[in-house]
Amino acid sequence: MLPAERRQRILELIQHSGSATVEELAEAVGSSSSTVRRDLDRLAALSLVIRTHGGAVLPTHSTAYEKRYTEKRSLRQHEKARIGKAAAEFVQEGETVILDSGSTTLEVARNLAAKKHLTIITNDLFIATEITYHPSTTVIVTGGILRPGFNVVVGSATESFLMSVHVDKSFLGGDAVDFDYGLTNATLSEASVKQLMIKAAREAYLVVDHTKFGQRALAKVADLESFKLIVTDHGLSPRFAAELERRSLNYLQV
């Protein structure tokens, strides 16, 4: 395992449980305790973890905290790729689709590239510009105000546009998923945009990796019952999976 891959795995393990000891991490990644300590020091220098005696914990952030887009894209890449591939299979050629901003919806977009005669609406400039779609596909970017550091547009122009369209399907990401509070987001401006994306669609899909569950962010977007399907990865804890089953929420683990 390369050093960068090892540090990524260590970070994911800490994110999954909230904390970990050096010994636990060393066993999980198959490295020495001294190597893991150096990796934790490196992650702490990047403010991704907080070093403790014998291990590390996740930083404590307010519900309004949001990782920068570049950081989001570097986390759980394999899980997001699987989620994106699975979610894209629900899109039929010729449909109209809204793609929310985010690193997971970007993976949905990658898997729509070969489909024909789509109309894709998005407020994410990466989704609009990084992918070469089939020539028969139309990509529409909503108007709005650019959020520095996130390459996404929000605001009244974005909301007005979304209120004027109706699509077959919307695919949304989110900062946090709680069974009582539903889908929540760290910013009010993006929460209101997401609400309109749900309202504009005949069917709404939620695409989130397992680390978003059991968390709450600042602004409520919607109840989980608003989504036809929740697509997540196999890292979802049995406790959360059981709660999805208990509430009769449709979900897919990939």
Q: Following DSSP, what letter does each residue of 225-249 receive, concatenated?
A: GG-SEEEE-TTS-HHHHHHHHHTT-
| Residue 64 located in a structural domain | no
Regarding whether 187 and 120 lie in a shared domain, the answer is: yes
In the chain, DSSP assigns E strands to: 19-21, 50-52, 55-57, 96-99, 119-122, 138-141, 145-147, 152-154, 167-172, 176-178, 182-185, 201-207, 219-222, 229-232, 251-253
Distances (CA, A) of 202 to 111, 163, 166, 199: 21, 14, 8, 8
| Residue 43 located in a structural domain | yes
User: Which residue type sits at 14?
Assistant: I
pLDDT number for residue 50: 84
pLDDT tens digits in sequence order for the chain, 254 residues long: 788 889 988 988 887 777 889 999 999 999 999 999 999 999 888 878 888 888 888 776 555 555 555 555 556 789 999 999 999 999 999 999 999 999 999 999 999 999 999 999 999 999 999 999 999 999 999 999 998 778 899 999 999 999 999 999 999 999 999 999 999 998 889 999 999 999 999 999 999 999 899 888 889 999 999 999 999 999 999 999 999 999 999 999 99
| Residue 80 located in a structural domain | yes
pLDDT number for residue 59: 72
- Residue 80: exposure state from Cβ atoms within 10 A (0-12, 13-18, ≥19): buried
Regarding whether 109 and 47 lie in a shared domain, the answer is: no
- Count up the domains in the chain and report the number: 2
> Contact 49/13 with Cβ under 8 angstroms?
no
CA distance 191 to 88: 23
User: What is the DSSP secondary structure assignment for residue 21, as one 8-state letter?
Assistant: E
- What CATH code is carried by the domain that includes residue 10? 1.10.10.10
Regarding whether 45 and 90 lie in a shared domain, the answer is: no
Regarding whether 44 and 162 lie in a shared domain, the answer is: no
> Contact 104/83 with Cβ under 8 angstroms?
yes
CA distance 150 to 172: 16
Regarding whether 152 and 29 lie in a shared domain, the answer is: no
Regarding whether 117 and 35 lie in a shared domain, the answer is: no
pLDDT number for residue 149: 77
User: Residue 123: CB partners within 8 Å, gap ≥ 6?
Assistant: 100, 101, 141, 142, 144, 152, 153, 154, 158, 193
pLDDT number for residue 20: 87
- What CATH code is carried by the domain that includes residue 110? 3.40.50.1360
CA distance 203 to 231: 14
Regarding whether 121 and 11 lie in a shared domain, the answer is: no
**Which residues span the domain enclosing 26?**
3-57
Regarding whether 213 and 180 lie in a shared domain, the answer is: yes
Regarding whether 51 and 99 lie in a shared domain, the answer is: no
